[in-house]
Structure formats: structure tokens, C-alpha cells
């Protein structure tokens, strides 16, 4: 028991592999520091490249383009070009990695993880409420991202509903920094920005109480990646011959996945926490990890 406590303390002192990846990608994706100082958007050639996570194009530090924003801009623009590149890019990430990008790459996921560490009593969402709410992100994907693309108004422009009314990453990374740096924008900010600020604040508050509420219930990109999750090349594997059913993996899961029943659930963000806490090393991960077969001698 004492040895377990020592090991647990040692783990806490070190940054986990997940946290190192999250911090590295946050810097890599938003590495234009001059943008934050000057309040200007980076316009270099890398801005034509889609990053695999929600990361607002208008964020002063953003070096790439948000896939959801790019998808809506391409199909909703006056020329209405079908975004083969954008769709192909996020499909590629989905097929190869599934929701690994949610667990290891997404800066807004990192923010939610850090907020949940605040020492305050947490909320446990009952399964009767949690399970149906998980489908909200698919509704957001269909209703606020995909359907508006095919119903343009008289101008031929389909309204980017998700980016315009919901996206908390855009409000935090794009809207607020520009308002802080530009007095004219602060004066022009109206009801819409007020609404988006309320949405952002609610998500941040719930992130302190519930682990990754935006990822669980609202993120359309996470919903898209989850469609490829079971078939992606990168898979988790539970060796049931080693598992002692201690449930430490399930207690540590930020997405509330029943690891021992369905380790490759579409809700799994493959952050690796279940693997790191398993006392018998029954959990592994990798490209097309095959279930090991026990041979009797």
C-alpha cells in the first residue's frame, strides 16, 4: 500500500505523456506569438493547412486553419467549392487515429483537463442523463455544421452556425484576444458576442465540475472522428487474461468509458490514462493492435 502511494506521488511529479503532447501541440498550433502582442492574424502559407482540431482561424497565434471553419467557409462561400481537401484531411485523421487527436492534440481539450484539476467537489452525471446527452454532439454536427451548408440564402452563402453561435474555442482563442487588443472591436461587440461569451463561460464552469463536458456532449469534430473510431488503425487493447477487474482504468477515464466492457468505445479519446493506471499492464495501444491469443502448453 505504501509502495503504491510512492509510485502515485512519483507519477504526479512528472508530466504525463498526454500532457507533454497536449502542451507541445498547443504551442505548435498557436506558435505565432507576435499575433498575441499585435492583435493581428497570421496570414502565412501555413494558414492554408488544416489542423486536425478546433482551433479558430482568427486566433492571433494560429498557424493553421480550423477544419470545421474551413468546411463551412468552402461550402458556404459564394463559389461553393466542395472542400475535398478539408474533408479528406479530417477523414484521414479519423481513419488513422480515431479520437486520439481529441486526447493528445486538442488545445481546448487541454484547457478542460486543467480546469477539472481545480480542487472542488465534482458532479457525477447519472447514466440516464449522460447516455442520451452524448448524442447531442452528433446533432450539433448535423444541424449546425452539415445541413446549413446545403441551404444557402439569397446571397448564396450558408451561415456558419456552429462557428457563429457556439464554438467556445473560437470565442476564447479568436474573439477575446482581438477585443482586448482593439478598442474599436470592443465598442462594436454586440448581443452575439455576449451570447457566445455566455456559452464559453458555461462550458468553462462545467469543465471544473465535469471532466471534458464539451468533448462529451457538444463537439462536432469529436462526433465526426468517433464515426471512424472502431475502424481506425490506432486501437486500444485489453488483455482479459491479465485483467483483475479492479476498475482503476474506468475510474481514471475522463470520458466515463466502461473500459472493461468496450475499450474502443466511440467515446474513448485514447488519452492513455487507463493504460497508465493499470496495475497489471493489461492495457496496450498501437497501430492495429491485435488481440493476443493465449496458447496452452
Encode 116-168 in three state secondary structure.
HCCCCCCCCCCHHHHHHHCCHHHHHHHHHHHHHHHCCCCCCCCCCHHHHHHCH
295 lies in some domain: no
Task: Count the Cβ atoms, other than its own, within 10 Å of residue 24.
Answer: 12
All three cell numbers of 45, joined, read: 502559407
User: Is 6 exposed, middle or buried (CB count within 10 Å of its CB: 0-12, 13-18, 19+)?
Assistant: exposed
Whether residue 198 is contained in a domain is answered as: yes
Predicted pLDDT at 181: 62
Over the Cα atoms of the chain, what is R_g?
21
The verdict on residue 2 lying in a domain is no
Integer Cα distance of 142 and 148 in angstroms: 9
The answer to whether 163 and 69 are in contact (CB under 8 A) is yes
Kindly state the cell numbers that stand for 145: 455544421
Same domain, 251 and 222: no
User: Same structural domain for residues 219 and 244?
Assistant: no
State whether 33 and 133 are in the same domain.
yes
What pLDDT, on the 0 to 100 scale, is given for residue 160?
75
Domain residues for the domain of 270 are 235-283
Model pTM score? 0.86
Structurally, the chain folds into a number of domains equal to 2
pLDDT value at residue 186: 63
Grouped pLDDT means (10 residues each) for the chain, 297 residues: 47 77 94 81 88 89 89 65 82 93 95 96 94 96 83 56 89 75 65 88 97 96 92 93 95 94 94 94 81 40
Residues 153 and 209 placed together within one structural domain of the fold: yes
Q: Phi/psi of residue 284, each to 5°?
A: -135, 170
Q: Are 16 and 276 in contact (CB under 8 A)?
A: yes
pLDDT of res. 178: 65
3-state SS assignment for residue 42: coil
Residue 162 lies in a domain: yes
Amino acid at each position: 500500500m505504501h509502495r503504491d502511494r510512492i509510485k502515485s506521488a512519483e507519477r504526479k511529479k512528472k508530466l504525463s505523456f498526454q500532457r507533454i503532447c497536449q502542451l507541445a501541440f498547443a504551442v505548435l498550433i498557436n506558435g505565432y506569438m507576435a499575433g498575441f502582442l499585435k492583435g493581428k492574424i497570421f496570414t502565412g502559407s501555413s494558414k492554408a493547412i488544416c489542423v486536425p482540431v478546433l482551433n479558430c482561424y482568427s486566433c492571433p497565434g494560429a498557424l493553421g486553419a480550423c477544419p470545421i471553419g474551413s468546411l463551412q467557409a468552402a461550402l458556404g462561400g459564394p463559389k461553393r467549392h466542395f472542400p475535398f481537401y478539408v474533408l479528406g484531411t479530417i477523414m484521414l485523421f479519423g481513419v488513422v487515429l480515431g479520437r486520439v487527436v481529441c486526447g493528445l492534440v486538442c488545445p481546448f481539450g487541454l484547457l478542460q483537463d486543467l480546469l477539472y484539476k481545480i480542487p472542488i467537489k465534482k458532479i457525477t452525471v447519472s447514466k440516464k442523463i449522460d447516455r442520451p446527452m452524448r448524442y447531442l454532439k452528433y446533432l450539433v454536427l448535423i444541424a449546425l455544421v452539415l445541413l446549413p451548408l446545403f441551404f444557402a440564402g439569397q446571397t448564396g452563402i450558408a451561415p456558419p452556425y456552429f462557428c457563429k453561435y457556439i464554438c467556445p474555442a473560437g470565442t476564447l482563442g479568436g474573439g477575446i484576444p482581438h477585443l482586448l487588443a482593439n478598442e474599436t472591436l470592443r465598442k462594436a461587440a454586440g448581443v452575439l458576442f455576449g451570447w457566445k461569451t455566455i456559452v464559453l463561460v458555461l462550458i468553462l464552469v462545467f469543465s471544473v465540475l465535469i471532466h471534458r463536458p464539451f468533448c462529451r456532449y457538444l463537439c462536432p469534430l469529436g462526433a465526426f472522428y468517433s464515426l471512424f473510431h472502431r475502424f481506425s488503425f490506432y486501437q486500444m487493447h485489453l488483455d482479459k487474461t491479465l485483467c483483475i477487474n479492479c476498475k482503476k482504468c474506468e475510474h481514471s477515464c475522463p470520458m466515463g468509458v466502461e473500459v472493461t466492457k468496450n475499450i474502443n468505445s466511440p467515446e474513448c479519446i485514447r488519452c492513455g490514462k487507463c493504460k497508465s493506471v493499470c496495475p497489471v499492464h493489461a492495457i496496450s495501444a498501437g497501430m492495429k493492435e491485435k488481440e493476443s491469443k493465449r496458447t496452452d502448453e
